[in-house]
Amino acid sequence: MTSRLNPYISFAGNAREAMEFYESVFGGTLRLNTFGEYGDPDAPEAEKIMHGMLETAGGYTIMGADTPPGMPLTAGDNVTISLSGDDSDELRGYWDKLSDGGTVSVPLEKQMWGDEFGACQDRFGISWMVNISGT
């Protein structure tokens, strides 16, 4: 698999509705995972979307999630660029360069869903997420 670059949209509690809307617009296959699937199934945000991905026949991929409690959400700042794939060396190289001189909010390390994941803001203020699958 090659690496992919996709938009990742943060929502204020309505990610399911928004991602289902995008599915109705673009068609394709929508996968939604909740916070409860990867954490406390009884938590107030358990049914909120932790990760959503719409992949279309036309080659579009749109990702999105509900903003977790305690994280800020500002309209206009709610889009992040996501890099994902299984080429560990390539993606680590991107991570090293993007995070150099920037701010790391989540170190690139193994996560509860089994992949390596990191989040940072580069030196220009652009937010990035890197997910290395199958590590």
pLDDT value for 126 = 79
Placement of tokens 């680590």 in the chain: 92
pLDDT value for 2 = 75
Backbone region of residue 23 per phi and psi (left: phi > 0; alpha: psi in -120 to 50; beta: other values): alpha
Domain coverage including residue 13:
4-132
Per DSSP, the three-state class of 89 is: helix
Contact yes or no for 26/60 (Cβ under 8 A)? yes
How far is residue 10's CA from residue 123's CA, in Å, rounded to a whole number? Answer: 21
How far is residue 2's CA from residue 57's CA, in Å, rounded to a whole number? Answer: 18
CATH number for 67: 3.10.180.10
Among the listed residues 65, 40, 36, the one whose alpha carbon sits nearest the alpha carbon of residue 50: 65
What would the DSSP string read from start to end of 13-61?
Answer: S-HHHHHHHHHHHH-SEEEEEEGGGGS-TTSTTTTSEEEEEEE-TTS-E
- Structural domain total, the chain: 1
pLDDT value for 58 = 79
| pTM assigned to the model | 0.70
pLDDT value for 29 = 98
Among the listed residues 132, 119, 26, 134, the one whose alpha carbon sits nearest the alpha carbon of residue 81: 119
For residue 14, give both structure tokens.
């309505």
Residues of the chain with pLDDT below 70 are 1, 135
